[in-house]
Every structure is written in structure tokens, then in C-alpha cells.
Chain A
């Protein structure tokens, strides 16, 4: 029996953890190394690090940061942002990541998913799907939520599984940073369309939201705001989910 996962997420820009609303209005949330170590010690099941600036110039700085975060972690570590090739992914994995997350690059070059899976195993390949509700459709967004695509989030997730993705990190841009709860309809639609784990993201504001996402079929819940700003601690989140009957780590 697998434990449901509680996953704090570090959005990192210019060497700092930041957190915005609908991917904008970024607010400082600390030092990535300290935050990572804090979450590890509090019992996070995994840590996600997304380089949201991901500019070409900052690549080596980011790798250095990834390796310093990894030095203090004894849990699985996923890193995303600016990974476009198998070589990019290899560098991130050598710096200490266990999995890589890709997003825009998967949409632009869907063959990349298979190449990564063949090179590192599908368990290493997380595809982040950013979705925004537009005229009744769940539209896949790229380049940090700035550009819409013609893809439907549910169909895209199913396609990604076929291509060898190991996991889908599903973010509702509409809910991001709003603390108003995950998009449960979207989570449920994607989770029923694939057999690989779906991690719900975007909107967690209270502990009930975490349980609701699991009830909707998510295998794990990713959250930033509620943990960064210490509204809820990880031990509280675990205790709450356990009281609701979900298998979580002690």
C-alpha cells in the first residue's frame, strides 16, 4: 500500500523561493536550501523545485542551487524549469535530483518524453501540466502560464502516459495562490484518464483541500502557500489526512 504524498513546492527565481497568485505578483518566501531542509525535517514525502525564471544565463547558478538543496534532503527530489533536452535532464539528475519535471518542452517536442523515459526510466519523468479554464475547456498553458496551446489538459495527460511519463503534476492556474481549494473537477477528470500518479497542484489553502484532492483521485498533493507562510505545518497535514482515513507516513 502506497502512502499518499504531501509535497511542498519551491518556486525559485533568482536564488529565492517565491510564491505568486495565478503565477504572478511574486512574494519572497525564503532561501531554497533552508526551506528544503526545513520541509525534509518536518516529514515532507517529496520536494519539488521549479526554477520559474529558468533563463538560459542562470542555468549554472540553478544547478549549483539544486545541488545545495539536494545535500540537505533525504527524500525524493524533483527539479523542473528550463529542461529541454536529455542532456539538460542529465545535468539536473547529476546535481542531485531524482526526477525531472518538464512542461513547455514536452508540448513543443512531445518526443522528448519518450527520450527521457528511455534514458532515465519513466519513474524519473514528471510532466507538469498547467491548465486554465477557457470557454468551458481545460486548456494546457506553456511558458510559465503565459501562452495558451490548442491542447486539452485531460487528453494531453493521457497522451503523456502513452509517451512514457511517470507522473503528471497537474496545476490549475485559475486556483494557483488563491487558497480557494484545488480544481477538483479537473483533478478527477485527469486522474480517471491515466493510470500513472497525478499530483494535484494549485489552490490549497486549508487541510480539507488536501483531503478533497485525494478524494478526487490525486495520488499526492502539492502545496506552497499554506506551508511557506506557515499556515499549516506538515505534521498537521499528515495528522489530518490520517484522521480522514488516508494512508500517510507516520
Chain B
């Protein structure tokens, strides 16, 4: 069973619905025990890094996600959920994230209007083209994914960057290391390409 972590942020229902639409069994849970027993875990989220990180700490859900990740089961972070996989974000430098991925989260340094909102083309990296869950996305023309964010991953080791987007600066928008996968964009709002990624994650055996 795929468990979507309910840690008191918005935008969870659409992720549950999109995973359900790909034909996989999925449930939403705020219970660390349920999350800890999941076969795979999805951490979505829209909101502020500080509140979200504090919720994860207080509820025990952060430890449960760490436990799932440490045991080698697949873990997917979406948007703020992905940002929380890093140890640090400029949005709340004093509040640690989960530290599942190397790198950090920084604010856009572009003159373009922020937040970055819309369908951005995602170009694969060599690592992305080889990645078991991501490779299928990159077989034809580069796909577009729906982004809504003011912060993005940065200083991610090259081998962990699977796809990049360009908004005044090129930034990693699909990242992964071992059994951890993360999308800065919203697959649940990215129609076919997004559903394909969720389906690939649900079948992935890292």
C-alpha cells in the first residue's frame, strides 16, 4: 500500500486522487505507525518549510519517513515535500529538514517574476535517462511539468540530478538518490506526464 503522508499541509487530496487514477492502492494517513509500515511513501505539500518541518518533528511523521527511507522502500517527495528531504532551506534556515538528500533549498535568484508558476519544460540529465523510474518520461520530446514555487533544490550532487528546468537560472527539478525520488513540480497537476511519473514510482523497485 502506498501511503501519502498527511502532515497538516494543503494539496494532499489531488495527489491521492492522481495515484488512485493510475490504478494503485493508496491511502492518506496522519499516523506515523501507518506511514512506517507503508510499502512506499509519498510526501506532497504546499506551504511554508518552517511549519511543515515542525509538524513533521512534532507528529513523529518525520521519523517514520526516515525509517521507511532507511529500510530501502521507495519514497517520493513533491514540491514542499521534496524540499523537506533536504537538510536545510533558505526559507527557514534554523529549522532542519529530514536530510534524506544531499544539497539544500534556495530562493530563486532571477529577475523574473517569482513564484515560478506554470508548465516548464524538464530536460533530462544523463542520470535521468538512466534512472529506472524516470527514464521512461524522457524517451520522446522533453515533457512539461506544472511548477508552483519560489524555492528550489540547489547544490545537489550531479549524479542525483535527473531533470532540470530553466527559469532565469537552470535548477534541478527532478532529483533522486537510491530509493528516494523528488519532484519540485506537481505530477498530480501535470496530466499525462505527471500520471506517468506517479505510475512509474508506484512500480519502481530501487
- Where the two chains meet, the residues of A that have a C-beta atom closer than 8 Å to any C-beta of B are 1-3, 5, 40, 43, 45, 70-71, 74-76, 93, 96, 98, 121-123, 166-167, 195-197, 219, 247, 249-250
Contacts of B118 in A (CB 8 A): 2-3, 5, 197, 219
Bound: A70/B11 CA distance, A? 12
Interface size on B (CB < 8 Å)? 31
What 0/1 pattern do residues 115 to 140 of B give for CB contact below 8 A with A? 11111110000000000000000001
* B14 engages A96 (CB within 8 Å): yes
- Where the two chains meet, the residues of B that have a C-beta atom closer than 8 Å to any C-beta of A are 10-11, 13-14, 17-18, 21, 46, 113, 115-121, 140-141, 143-144, 146, 148, 166-167, 188-192, 194-195
Q: Which of A71, A93, A167, A219 has the most C-beta atoms of chain B within 10 angstroms of its own C-beta?
A: A71
Q: Name 15 extra pairs, CB < 8 A, besides A2-B116, A74-B194, A98-B11.
A: A1-B120, A3-B118, A3-B119, A5-B118, A74-B18, A74-B21, A74-B195, A75-B191, A76-B146, A76-B189, A121-B115, A166-B115, A166-B117, A197-B117, A250-B140
Specify the main secondary structure of chain B where it touches its partner: mixed
* A74 engages B190 (CB within 8 Å): yes
Task: Contacts A121-B115, A123-B115 given; indicate if A43 touches B14 (C-beta within 8 A).
Answer: no
Bound: A137/B87 CA distance, A? 54
Task: Contacts A2-B118, A93-B10, A96-B14 given; indicate if A74 touches B189 (C-beta within 8 A).
Answer: yes
Contacts of A195 in B (CB 8 A): 113
Bound: A194/B21 CA distance, A? 38
* A123 engages B117 (CB within 8 Å): yes
Select A196's contact among B113, B121, B194, B195, beta carbons within 8 Å: B113
* A3 engages B144 (CB within 8 Å): yes
Q: Which of B46, B140, B143 has the most C-beta atoms of chain A within 10 angstroms of its own C-beta?
A: B46
Q: Which of A43, A71, A247, A249 has the most C-beta atoms of chain B within 10 angstroms of its own C-beta?
A: A249
Contacts of A121 in B (CB 8 A): 46, 115
Task: Contacts A71-B17, A74-B191, A75-B189 given; indicate if A249 touches B119 (C-beta within 8 A).
Answer: yes
7 contacts between A and B (CB under 8 A): A2-B116, A3-B144, A74-B189, A74-B190, A75-B189, A98-B189, A250-B143
Contacts of B146 in A (CB 8 A): 75-76
Contacts of A197 in B (CB 8 A): 113, 117-118
Contacts of B188 in A (CB 8 A): 74
